[in-house]
Structure 1
Amino acid sequence: MSVGLPIGELVTAPVVSEADQGLYLRVAGEDVLLPGRLVPEGARVGDVLRVFVHTDSEDRPVLTTEEPAALLGEFALLEVVDLSEHGAFLDWGLDKDLFAPFGEQVRKLAVGDRMVFRVCLDERTGRLFAASRLAPHFDYDVSAVRAGDEVELLVYGQNEIGALVVVDGRHTGLVYRNEAFRPLRVGDALTGWVKQVREDNKLDIRLQRSGRAAIDDAEEVILEALRAGGGWLALHDKSPPEQIRAELRMSKKAFKRALGGLYKARRVALEEGGVRLLD
């Protein structure tokens, strides 16, 4: 492997020469080939192109103008498209599939399986590979994380109490099933908030904000449902919690609290069988 090349990353690089097989771009002091079939129409020496750096089937550095589903160190939902005696091949948006060796698989894979993988680098060979065995790849230093922080989530699994999530592309967290108020599936990307930083350096995550912000959010959900229903919502304080959760994705407690705020503000009227919008 060429030392210093940013394998697995997107870079902008100048075209420095042309050849029969394509264009050569200067990347980290080295001239690296962009194959002709991937050269943008009209590109020539002196242009600056945005390219992804990886390796070909012979482990030589090569460039592509295609963008993968994930860069080095990132997590993404990928599909198994082929198998070999050594592992599985994944579609990640490039002509060359990404390889997931058996030793990096959390379970045996089959063609058509879709799982969250992390893109990793074999420092010895310079090859990119995928791992679905994610635990060794999380960052367990959560000293900078605080309760209440807004975070980006990617669901990567389920256990008996909730959904396992990648937090901000680095940490691992858990959304408790009884606090989700919606189905969570592997590969779902969503926004959440840190509920608690645990002693084991994992994070408990909620999908709703807390305090006054949570009430404001719940009020807006109710108002949107009212507008979508032509000013009428067939829910009230005696409605079953399951119905409220199914229609509004919130707990009955949150619904009653937000509804009370809207009623006091004279934005809704409480009528038999439901709520009417007054705005």
Structure 2
Amino acid sequence: MIEFGKLNTLTISNRRDNQIYLDGGELGEIALADKDVKGQVGDSLRVFVYIDGKNQTIATTVIPKAQADEVACLKVVSLSHAGAFLDWGLPKDLLLPFSEQKGKMVEGRSVLVRLFLDENNRIAASMLLDDFIQDEAFYYKDGQAVTLMIADETELGFKAVVDHKYWGVLYKNEIFQPLRRGQVVSGFIKKVRPDRKLDLILSQEKYGQKVDGTSEKILAVLEKHGGYIGLTDKSPPEMIYDTFAVSKKVFKQAIGGLYKQRRIVIEDNGIRLVGKD
């Protein structure tokens, strides 16, 4: 059975007039939109199948930026009387209807949307994520690896969509890298709370392990740069992250430990390896 708005594996049923036709089961033959695909009758192709605005069934080997039931950050490419149209990687842009919009639409700006099928199995986008994303998650375990889509920043940290289905929270004091809305990152379930809501974390590495690892990175960078780098515990967090991919707090702990071990000297404008004057 064909899954509209998703990838399907279909068999080539016919070739005529330089056109490939696929076996669509109950739908009959489906013409392949791509003209440069090679294949013989009986071959299988992995294709994306959807119904366009003219109610025509389309099959293509081009994989879009998102499929039905997925969350994606897509750019607004045009505005019309029907709504906004988004670039989703296919020749025909994706409709974001007025009824599914939040805030003012601006061409060139990216929006966070969830793709869905309407009553006619046509694929469209919605910015009303709470209509689709659930607060209570099931079948997850503490420590389980997941894919996260970063959503809104809050007082606690960041809301994130877990595996396109559930809301979770990344806490501010456990984020050691810059995040932006629409960014896709790997993460872990830190804890499944009693109310089935998800606490998330980007790394399972313990804080002490992170400090120790950063200490080794600092020593390696110092050796590479002749024993001196122009960073201290007073440097901007962005500079520290760009160099070592850790928070300023972790960096300060690491150089503090190295200083106590008499492996570095902390100067006004940088740090220096002991013995590298």
TM range (shorter): 0.7 to 0.9
1:272 pairs with one of 225, 241, 266:
266
Distance 1:40 1:69 in 2: 21
CA 1:225–1:10: 2 relative to 1, 3 Å: farther
Corresponding pairs, count: 268
Tell me which residue corresponds to 2:89: 93
Change (3 A) 1:275 1:109: same
Structure-2 residue corresponding to 1:5: 2
Question: Which of 13, 23, 27 pairs up with 1:26?
Answer: 23
How has the CA–CA distance of structure 1 residues 145 and 256 changed in structure 2, closer, same or farther, with 3 Å as cutoff? farther
Q: 1:74 to 1:32 in 2, by over 3 A?
A: farther
Which residue number in structure 2 is paired with residue 141 of structure 1? Answer: 136
SS of structure 1 residue aligned to 2:28: strand
My pick for the range that moved more, 70-79 or 209-218, is: 209-218
Deviation larger for 90-99 or 184-193: 184-193
Amino acid paired to 1:95: P
Residue in structure 1 matched with residue 236 of structure 2 by the alignment = 243
SS at match of 1:254: helix
Give the superposition deviation at 1:93.
0.5
Matched, 1:184 2:179: yes
- Aligned partners of 2:236, 2:58: CA distance in 1, in Å? 55
Point out the more displaced range, 152-161 or 59-68. Answer: 152-161
Q: Which SS does the other structure have where 2:251 is aligned?
A: helix
1:62 paired with 2:55, answer no
> 1:110: which partner in 2?
106
Name the residue aligned to 1:131: 126
Shift in CA distance, 8/277, structure 1 to aligned 2, threshold 3 Å: farther
The reply on whether 1:165 has 2:155 as its aligned counterpart is no
Inter-CA distance 87–229: structure 2 relative to 1 (3 Å threshold): farther
SS in 2 for 1:119: strand
1:69: how far off?
A: 0.2
Q: CA deviation at 1:35?
A: 4.0
Distance 1:66 1:147 in 2: 36
SS of match in other structure, 1:72: coil
CA drift at 1:120: 0.5
Whether the aligned pair in 2 keeps the contact of 1:75 and 1:119 (CA below 8 Å) is yes
Unaligned runs of 5+ in 2: none
TM-score, length basis structure 1: 0.79
- Is the Cα contact below 8 Å between 2:136 and 2:197 reproduced in 1? no
Which amino acid counterpart does residue 104 of structure 1 have in structure 2? E
Aligned amino acid, residue 138 of structure 1: I
C-alpha separation in 2, matches of 1:21 and 1:219 = 63
Q: Is the 8 A contact 1:59 1:126 kept in 2?
A: no
Q: Distance in 2 between matches of 1:190 and 1:110?
A: 26
Pairing of 1:194-213 with structure 2 (within 5 A): 194-198=189-193, 201-211=196-206, 213=209
Aligned-pair CA distance for 1:114: 0.3
Which blocks of at least 5 consecutive residues in structure 1 are unaligned? none
